[in-house]
């Protein structure tokens, strides 16, 4: 049975590439499509969650928004993996620095994703699942960032269900455990990939440093983080 179009993506089967680069902000996806892709065609505008397919250096690729939070990326990546026959999803997102050595614009490659989310409960596992990236994608991304001279770190992300946490000291606990940065989506991406037998990687750019009280603007987050986009595109 063909499940496409889905309730959230209006593309027909075959209109989305095997590799999709995703951003929480659909306008970042639009920026990527217009800046990097040859002949990008828009395949989705349902709920304003823009998606485009084009080519990059002759290789077919799609870029797609996924919204904010684990429930939202969970929906979009599930549909892409299971209904559109996508093999690889790379998230290019923003994150807040937890590790004191990270600064605005640095790249974090999410080897694993700690979380306060209950997303894994649906699998009825007898223990705690550890959401991790695909090693081949991770190692290639690290090599690419190194080759380009980008400042980056590889390690754990903390993915929170709350942007405004009532516990204002919550990040300090994760800092003690060596977690690098906080974002809101990676575990659902990694779990959906694991369940579907597919590949996934979360690449983040530091957009704010909560402990240093510095942050970028929304416009800078939308169009300024091109280093991580170029790393992601190099993995095609």
Q: Is the link from the previous residue into 5 a cis peptide, with omega within 30 of 0?
A: yes
Considering only CA atoms, which of 74, 91, 51, 65 is closest in space to residue 199?
A: 91
Residue spans of the chain under pLDDT 70 = 1
Q: What is the pLDDT of residue 219?
A: 87
Cα 205 from chain centroid (whole Å): 10
User: What are the residue numbers of the active site?
Assistant: 208
Structure-block tokens of residue 135? 């090693």
Q: What is the pLDDT of residue 46?
A: 96
Q: What is the pLDDT of residue 168?
A: 85
Using only C-alpha atoms, what is the Rg of the chain?
Answer: 17
CB distance 107 to 228 below 8 Å:
yes
End-to-end CA distance of the chain: 29
In DSSP notation, 35-99 reads HH-EEEEEEE-GGG--EEEEEETTEEEEEEE--SSHHHHHHHHHHHHHHS---EEEEEEEEEE-S
pTM score above 0.85: yes
């Amino acid at each position: 049975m063909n499940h496409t179009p889905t309730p959230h993506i209006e593309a027909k089967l075959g209109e989305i590439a095997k590799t999709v680069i995703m951003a929480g902000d659909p306008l970042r996806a639009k920026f990527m499509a217009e800046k990097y892709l040859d002949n990008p065609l828009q395949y989705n505008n349902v709920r304003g969650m823009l998606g485009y397919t084009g080519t990059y250096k002759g290789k077919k690729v799609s870029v797609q928004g996924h919204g904010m939070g684990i429930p939202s990326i969970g929906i979009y990546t599930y549909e892409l993996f299971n209904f559109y026959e996508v093999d690889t999803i790379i998230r290019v997102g923003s994150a807040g620095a937890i590790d004191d050595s990270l600064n605005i614009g640095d790249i974090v490659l999410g080897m694993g994703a700690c979380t306060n989310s209950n997303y894994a409960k649906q699998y009825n596992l007898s223990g705690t699942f550890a959401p991790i990236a695909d090693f081949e994608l991770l190692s290639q991304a690290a090599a690419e960032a190194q080759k380009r001279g980008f400042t980056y770190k590889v390690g754990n992300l903390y993915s929170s269900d709350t942007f405004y946490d009532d516990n204002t000291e919550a990040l300090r606990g994760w800092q003690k455990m060596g977690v690098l940065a906080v974002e809101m989506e990676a575990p659902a991406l990694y779990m959906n990939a694991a369940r579907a037998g597919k590949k996934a990687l979360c690449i983040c750019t530091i957009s704010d440093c909560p402990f240093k009280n510095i942050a970028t603007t929304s416009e800078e987050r939308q169009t300024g983080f091109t280093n991580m986009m170029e790393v992601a595109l190099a993995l095609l």
